[in-house]
Chains A and B, each alone.
Chain A
Amino acid sequence: MTATQTPPAPAPETTAAGSPLKSAAVRALGNSAAGPLAALAIAIAVFALSTDTFFTIDNGSLIVQQFLVVGTLALGQTLIILTAGIDLANAAIMVLGTLVIARLGQHTLPAGVALVVGILLCTAIGGLAGAFVTRLRLPPFIVTLGVLSVLTAVSQLFAGGESFSVPPGLLTFLGERSYLFGRIEVTYGMGVMLVLGLGLWFLLTQTSWGRSVYAVGDDEEAARLTGINTRRTLLSVYVLAGFVYAIGAWQALGRIPNADPNAFQTGNLDSITAVVIGGTSLFGGRGGIPGTVLGALVVTVLSNGLTQAGIDSLYQQVATGILVITAVAVDRVVRRRAA
């Protein structure tokens, strides 16, 4: 309908013929990713010029490692925000996942089984939240606020004031480091993130399911009238998001082989920050995976670079907050112009 829409409103395969490379690239990345890409480029340039240590291979790898957990949370959050919802419970789902996986993997079960149990649990919790949203027509904000409250307490009860260390092996696999070309430090978690991001991007932009998600987010009633099963679409989004948070739990165990009920207390807000900076509209229907990945990178780069520039961490929060408001203001202006 509008030039600023990220989703392939008309089926891409029909326009692909003769389309120049540039427009293919723009379509792949999405227009809404242009803002965060610019912010990222500016931040990198500023830190590269102002510190000696930022623009190095080691630091690049470090930034990606620091980005993985919140980046994964933000991917799931993107799905939900695209449907004009919001997920306040994502970090709580993930933390419960880490506790269950760690606890079961410690004593009771083989690591692989513990991991599968954790993944199923997180996915089921996502589905349960989705069921409340779709069946009872409750606002996502309320449902996920409730889930957040319940799961925070459940995690504390489950952990009983302890934190669980994770035996090395499959459960910490995503944090294991390897070297490319002898000097670029990479973790298996980066590979998993890449696959996850590409998979979600493919689903959202190249399948009819993805088009339904955008349509429901843009205008649920209109989507329903065009024959989309809006309830099933919404429910599938919450289930898939729960699965993504489970992968986040696995990433978290790779980064810190210790599951703590008090960890990631600001993970929900951090992921919303990344999604918003990434240009996905809080009003639904616009934005996507590339923007979110860039948004999460912007947040991580800011924290990394400002620390290296010797800026107090409280000022880092100020900078991030200003960026969020700017991003939403830009979204609002774009939306008004499009209307």
Chain B
Amino acid sequence: MTGLTLLVTGCTSTKSGGSGGGSQSGGKVTVGLVTKTNSNPYFVKLRDSAKAEADKRGAKLIPLAGKFDGDNQGQVDAINNLVAQNVAGILITPSNSSGVLGAIKAARAKGIVVIALDTATEPADAVDATIATDNTAAGVSQGKYVKAALGKRKPALVMLDGTPGSTVNTQRHSGFLKGFGLKDGSPGIKGTAVTNGDQTKAQTAMENLYQRDRDVNSVYTLNEPAAAGASEALGGKKSVVIGSIDGSCAGVRNVRSGKFAATVMQFPKKMAQLGVDAVIDYAKDKKKPSGFIDTGSQLITDKPQPGLESKDTAWGLKNCWG
């Protein structure tokens, strides 16, 4: 754990700034966390990891969340709430890259350090630092893998997107196309659908798109529930290469059983630990973190492709996030 702490301090600038604010609550540093929702397992894991890290370091975590993905108003309320509670720092996974900037600005003006977790803001310097997966890079490795797994077959791709306008959605989508070597609107793309990352919607969309075009041989999915829906819709047809992203244990198991060809794992636990540590360090010695801290991503597959670094599902199951 000291390694992780060192990593953060290594990435932080040494300038001290801000007025500090009242960061102590009964002698304890308080850390605010605002996730997109408190229901999605990914954010639940992020919250649990942050809680564990805060407990370990004797700090107090106040976790809040929007009501649904895209609930900017809910996130703004949460930030205001945390400011009123005099937290030392706020970790936020912004639903929308620009929707919460006003509230963040107000919080920072009070000397509260604000760190974007998981998703960057637009512009990135609206927060002190960003600790996240490079979603574009993750999308690129997803795209490269699916392309390689297709081999010589001509691409006939379906794209199951998330929520239009969300940063993660845009970055993964364009990263995938970059890795795959296609552009939006290319004839190789046989269809796209909005799934909101919901398995039910993804299944229905995939059924309809596959009904329209039986030649489909590859599928981009924004996340693993969408991939599970696609796999269900295709009835386990192995000739269609499904690439996914996230690295949940359920997702890795679906790679192991052959439902998906590959997934790209993220490390929310690492994000949470680094974020909590950064806020605590700031409260103690006013060192503010800065810049983009990449927690990395890892291609997971049992059918490695030459030239692409990957880990197998055994490794994946040890490192997945629930």
- B partners with A: yes
Known: A161-B44, A256-B229, A260-B225. A265 touches B68 (CB 8 A): yes
Contact between chains at A161 and B40 (CB < 8 Å): yes
Contact between chains at B44 and A263 (CB < 8 Å): no
Contact between chains at B44 and A160 (CB < 8 Å): yes
Question: B-facing mask of A72-91, CB < 8 A → 1, else 0?
Answer: 00000000000000000000
Known: A260-B199, A307-B205. A58 touches B211 (CB 8 A): yes
Known: A156-B39, A260-B225. A53 touches B211 (CB 8 A): yes
Contact between chains at B198 and A303 (CB < 8 Å): no
Q: Which residues from A are CB-within-8-Å of B68?
A: 265
Contact between chains at A161 and B41 (CB < 8 Å): yes
Nearest CB in chain A: distance from B288 CB, A: 31
Give the total of A residues in contact with B, Cβ under 8 Å. Answer: 32
Residues 148-198 of B at the A interface (beta carbon under 8 Å)? 164, 191, 193-194, 198
Q: How far is the CA of A304 from the CA of B212 in the complex (A)?
A: 10
Contact between chains at B209 and A307 (CB < 8 Å): yes
Residues 250-290 of B at the A interface (beta carbon under 8 Å)? 250
Known: A156-B38, A261-B39. A308 touches B211 (CB 8 A): yes
The contact size tier of chain B is 20 to 34
Contact between chains at A262 and B40 (CB < 8 Å): yes
Known: A59-B211, A304-B208, A307-B205. A258 touches B228 (CB 8 A): yes
Q: Which residues from B are CB-within-8-Å of A303?
A: 204, 208
Question: B-facing mask of A260-287, CB < 8 A → 1, else 0?
Answer: 1111110000000000000000000000
Nearest CB in chain B: distance from A336 CB, A: 38
Report if B28 contacts A (CB, 8 A): no
Known: A62-B207, A263-B198, A307-B205. A313 touches B225 (CB 8 A): no
Q: How far is the CA of A263 from the CA of B203 in the complex (A)?
A: 12
**Which of chain A's residues has its CB closest to B68's CB?**
A265
Q: Which residues from B are CB-within-8-Å of A106?
A: none
Residues 152-193 of A at the B interface (beta carbon under 8 Å)? 156, 159-163, 165
Q: Which residues from B are CB-within-8-Å of A165?
A: 250
**Which of chain A's residues has its CB closest to B202's CB?**
A256
Nearest CB in chain B: distance from A85 CB, A: 25
Known: A160-B44, A161-B45, A263-B198. A256 touches B211 (CB 8 A): no
Contact between chains at A314 and B164 (CB < 8 Å): yes
Contact between chains at A53 and B199 (CB < 8 Å): no
Residues 290-305 of A at the B interface (beta carbon under 8 Å)? 303-304
Q: Which residues from A are CB-within-8-Å of B194?
A: 313-314
Q: Show the binding face of B for A, using Cβ within 8 Å.
A: 37-41, 43-45, 68, 164, 191, 193-194, 198-200, 203-205, 207-209, 211-213, 225, 228-229, 232, 250, 322
Beyond A51-B212, A304-B211, A308-B211, list 20 extra A-B contacts (CB 8 Å). A54-B211, A156-B39, A160-B44, A161-B40, A165-B250, A256-B203, A262-B198, A263-B198, A263-B199, A263-B200, A264-B200, A265-B68, A265-B198, A304-B208, A307-B191, A307-B208, A308-B208, A308-B212, A310-B191, A314-B164
5 pairs from A and B in contact (CB 8 Å cutoff):
A156-B39, A162-B44, A165-B250, A261-B39, A314-B164
The 8 closest A-B pairs by CB, nearest first: A161-B44, A307-B208, A308-B212, A156-B39, A313-B194, A161-B41, A53-B212, A304-B208
Q: Show the binding face of A for B, using Cβ within 8 Å.
A: 51, 53-54, 56, 58-59, 62, 66, 69, 156, 159-163, 165, 255-256, 258, 260-265, 303-304, 307-308, 310, 313-314
